[in-house]
Every structure is written in C-alpha cells, then in structure tokens.
A = this chain, B = another copy of it.
C-alpha cells in the first residue's frame, strides 16, 4: 500500500525522494519556459492553509522566470545555484532562505554543476504566475548582472 500524507511518518529515500510522494512534472510541458526541473508535493493537507513542495533542478536547468501576487517562502535543501529576486542575483546554497515578495520577477538556476533542490511554502489558494513580455525581459536585461544570470554565466 502506498503511504500518503495521512501517515504520520514518511521516510526520506535516496535521490531526494520520500515515501508515498510522487515526482511530478514541474508544469505542463509547453505552458512556460523551464528546463530540467521536477516537483514533489510534501504537504498539501486541507487542514493546512499552505502547501510545502520540493523542487529540484538538474545541473544546467532552471525554473520559469515569472511573477505573481502570492509570495514564496523558500529554503534550499540540496546543493547550490543562483537565484534572481527582483533586481538581485545571488548564489544560494543548502539551508539558505529566499523570500519572494508579491509581483516580483524571480527564477532559480542550477548554475554550479550540481542539482539545486529547495522546499517552497505557498498559500494553498493563490493566483497564477505571469510570464514577462518582451519589454519586461528587455528591462531586466538592462542590468548586466541579470543578463549574465539569464544566460547561465552568473558572476
């Protein structure tokens, strides 16, 4: 019998998997740009007002560059990489915290030759992400540090 979240104890398994937790597509293929990233839903209990998900990006991959009204509360759980929040690009490593405010462009990239895994807490009820249009990408790329990040050569 497959374990579910209703079981009190679910073991951590090799390869950053958990008992009774499926490894899912990050998003529907073609719905948005992303590369080499998966999603595992660790907690999604109707009694909880938030969900806790684990995302993992293979070396060289990235999440979608997007923004939305809801906020993200992130803790890196595996490896390291780079992250964009607003106009700021930073190296992030295991157990670092990232807060993504409302309406703020953000992206995670596994830029350091290793997988980047992170847990992300979000409100269970939340709005859909928006993608940047051409003008918005152009505005972001005006900052050489953001261009370097988006082109996978962060300084």
Q: Interface on A for B, CB 8 Å cutoff? A: 5-12, 16, 18, 42-43, 45, 47-50, 52, 70-71, 73, 75-77, 83, 85-86, 88, 90, 92-102, 104, 119, 121, 123-125
Residues of B within 8 A of A97 (CB): 9-12, 18, 42-43
Inter-chain contact A86/B8, CB cutoff 8 Å: yes
- CB contact between A9 and one of B47, B49, B70, B90 (< 8 Å): that residue: B90
**Do most interface residues of chain A lie in helix, strand or loop, or is the interface mixed?**
strand
CA distance A142 to B26 in the complex (A): 47
CA distance A16 to B75 in the complex (A): 13
CA distance A98 to B126 in the complex (A): 25
